[in-house]
Structure 1
Amino acid sequence: MIRDFVYRSALWCTLAITFSAHSAPTIVPDPPSLPARGYVLIDYNTGEILVEKNARTKLNPASLTKLMTAYVAGQEVKAGNITLDDEVLISKKAWAKNFPDSSKMFIEVGTKVPLMDLYRGLIVQSGNDASVAIAEYVAGSESAFVNMMNSWAETLGLENTSYSNPHGLDSRGLYSTPLDIAKLGRAIIHDLPDIYSLYSETSYTYNGITQYNRNGLLRDRSINVDGMKTGYTSGAGYSLATSATYGDMRLIAVVMGAKSAKSRESVSKQLLSYGFRFFDTVSPNKADDVVTNVKVWMGDKDQLPVGVRDDIYLTLPRGDADKLDAEVEFDRELVAPITKGEKVGSVIYKVEDEPLVVKDLVAKSDIKQGSVIKRLVDWFKRLLSGWL
Structure 2
Amino acid sequence: MIRAALFLTAASLALASAAPAKAPPFDTPAKIAYLVDLSSGAVLLSKNADQRMPPASMAKMMTTNVAFELIKKGDLKLDKMCTVRPETWQKWHGPQAGSTMFLSPGEQVSVENLLKGIITLSGNDASVVLAECIAGTEEAFAEVMNDNARRLGLTNSRFGNSNGWPDEGRTYVSARDLAALARAEIENYPDLYKKFYSLTQFTWGKTLGSGTDITQANRNPLLGRVPGADGLKTGHTDEAGYGFTGSAEQNGRRLIMVVAGLDSFNQRIEESVRLMQWGFNAWQAKPLFKKDTVVGTANVQLGGSSEVNLVAPRDLNITIPAGLLSKVSSMKIRYQGPIKAPIAKGQHVADLVVTTSDSGEQVMPLVAADEVGEAGFFARAWIGLKQLLGMA
Q: TM-score, normalised by structure 1?
A: 0.75
Q: Which amino acid aligns with 2:121?
A: Q
Using the alignment, how far apart are the partners of 2:274 and 2:325 within structure 1?
Answer: 24
Contact 1:26/1:320 (<8 A) preserved? no
CA contact (8 A) 2:288 2:318 kept: no
Contact 1:281-1:313 within 8 A present in 2 as well:
no
In the TM superposition, what are the counterparts of 1:267-278 in structure 2 within 5 Å? Answer: 267-278=271-282
**Structure 2 unaligned residues grouped into runs of 5+:** 206-212, 298-306, 334-341, 374-392
CA distance in 2, matches of 1:166, 1:339: 38
Q: Find the residue that maps to 1:88 and give its secondary structure.
A: strand
Q: Does 1:169 align with 2:165?
A: yes
> Which residue of structure 2 aligns with residue 54 of structure 1?
48
What pairs with 1:198-209 in structure 2 (closer than 5 Å)?
198-207=196-205, 208-209=213-214
Residue 255 of structure 2 is aligned with which of 248, 251, 254?
251
Deviations 1:33-82 (A, max 9, x none): 21122111111234432101111111111000111111111111111111
Kindly name which structure, 1 or 2, has the bigger radius of gyration based on alpha carbons.
1
| 1:90 paired to 2:90 | no
Asked whether the 8 Å contact 2:156–2:177 carries over to 1, the reply is yes
- Post-superposition Cα deviations, 1:198-218, rounded to whole Å, max 9, x if no partner, equal 111110001221011112321
> Does the C-alpha gap of structure 1 residues 306 and 92 become closer, same or farther in structure 2, counting only changes over 3 Å?
same
Code of the residue aligned with 1:105 in structure 2: it is M
**2:162, 2:142 → 1: CA distance?**
6
Match of 2:318 in 1: 315
C-alpha spacing 1:263/1:83, structure 2 compared with 1 (3 Å): same
User: Aligned with 2:242: secondary structure?
Assistant: strand
Change beyond 3 A, Cα 1:291–1:115: same
User: Measured at CA, do residues 259 and 151 of structure 1 come closer, stay the same or move farther in structure 2, by a change above 3 Å?
Assistant: same
What amino acid does structure 2 have at the position aligned with 1:139? A
Structure 1 match to 2:241: 237
Q: Does 1:210 align with 2:215?
A: yes
| Counterpart position of 2:180 | 183
Q: Residues 326 and 125 (structure 1 numbering): CA distance in 2 closer, same or farther, change over 3 Å?
A: same
The structure whose RCO (Cα within 8 Å, separation 6+) is larger is 2
Q: Which runs of 5+ in 1 are unaligned?
A: 1-12, 294-303, 330-337, 368-388
Aligned partner of 1:112 in structure 2 is 108
Superposed, 1:22-61 pairs within 5 Å as 24=17, 25=19, 27-61=21-55
Conservation of the 8 A alpha-carbon contact between 1:238 and 1:258: yes
Alignment of 1:231-380 (within 5 A): 231-282=235-286, 284-285=288-289, 288-290=292-294, 306-308=309-311, 310-311=313-314, 313-318=316-321, 364=370
Q: Return the offset for 1:348.
A: 7.5
SS at match of 1:150: helix
TM-score under structure 2 normalisation?
A: 0.74
1:274 shift after superposition: 2.1
- Whole-angstrom distance in 2 between the partners of 1:348 and 1:37: 30
Moved more, 178-187 or 267-276: 267-276
Conserved 8 A contact 1:17-1:326: no
Contact 1:240 1:265 in 2 (8 A): no
2:224 to 213, 219, 223: 219
Q: Percent identity?
A: 33
Q: Is the 8 A contact 2:293 2:312 kept in 1?
A: no
Shift of 1:160: 0.9
* Deviation for aligned residue 1:175: 1.0
Identify which range, 132-141 or 356-365, moves more after superposition: 356-365
- For residue 187 of structure 1, give the secondary structure of its aligned residue in structure 2: helix
User: CA contact under 8 A between 2:197 and 2:230: conserved in structure 1?
Assistant: yes
The aligned residue for residue 10 of structure 2 is 18
Distance 1:61 1:366, change over 3 A: closer
